Structure 1
Amino acid sequence: MKKLMLCAATYLFMFLPYVKVKADVVMVAPTIGVNNQIAAKYNQINFGSCEKLDYEVFDKAYRGYVNLYNAGKLNTDKQILTICDFSKSSSKYRLWILDLKTNEVLVNDYVAHGQGSGDEFAMAFSNQENSHQSSLGFYVTGEVYMGDHGRSLRLNGMDNGFNNAAYDRSIVVHGADYVNPSFVASQHRLGRSWGCPAVSNKVIGKVINTIQDKTCLFIYYPQKKYLQTAYWLNKKIDHMPGDNSYSNLAFAAPMKRDTVIVYEQNGLQQELAKQYSPLSLPLL
Structure 2
Amino acid sequence: MKPKPIILLALALLCFCSIAIAETPHINLARTKEKAKQALAFAKKRGYNTRYCILIDMSLPSGVKRFMVWDQKGGKIQTSGLVSHGCGRSPWAGEWSKDTPAFSNADGSHCTALGKYRVDGRGYSAWGINVKYFLTGLESTNSNAYARQIVFHSWEKVSETEVYPNGTPEGWGCPAVSNQTMRTVDALLKKQKKKMLMWVYN
Q: One-letter code of the match for 1:195?
A: G
Aligned partner of 2:147 in structure 1 is 168
SS in 2 for 1:92: coil
Identical amino acids, percent of aligned pairs:
28
Contact residue 113 and residue 197 of structure 1 kept, 8 A: yes
Q: One-letter code of the match for 2:200?
A: I
Count residues with an aligned counterpart.
166
Q: One-letter code of the match for 1:154?
A: F
Aligned partner of 1:155 in structure 2 is 135
Q: One-letter code of the match for 1:151?
A: V
Q: Distance in 2 between matches of 1:102 and 1:199?
A: 23
Q: Does 1:192 align with 2:163?
A: no
Aligned partner of 1:219 in structure 2 is 200
The superposition leaves residues 129-165 of structure 1 with CA deviations (integer Å, 9 ceiling, x where unpaired) of 11110010111110000022211111111112x0011
Contact residue 127 and residue 135 of structure 1 kept, 8 A: yes
Structure 2 CA distance for partners of 1:64 and 1:106, relative to 1, 3 Å = closer
Deviation at 1:177, TM superposition (A): 1.4
Contact residue 119 and residue 136 of structure 2 kept, 8 A: yes
Q: Distance in 1 between matches of 2:67 and 2:156?
A: 17
Structure 2 CA distance for partners of 1:58 and 1:211, relative to 1, 3 Å = farther
Aligned partner of 2:42 in structure 1 is 67
Q: Distance in 1 between matches of 2:86 and 2:152?
A: 12
TM-score (norm 1): 0.53
Over the aligned positions, Cα root-mean-square deviation in angstroms equals 2.3
Q: Distance in 1 between matches of 2:161 and 2:45?
A: 42
Aligned partner of 1:141 in structure 2 is 119
- Tell me which of 33, 56, 74 is aligned to 1:102: 74
Listed as ranges, the gaps of 5+ residues in structure 2 are 1-25, 90-95
Q: Distance in 2 between matches of 1:171 and 1:129?
A: 10
TM-score (norm 2): 0.73
Deviation at 1:94, TM superposition (A): 0.7
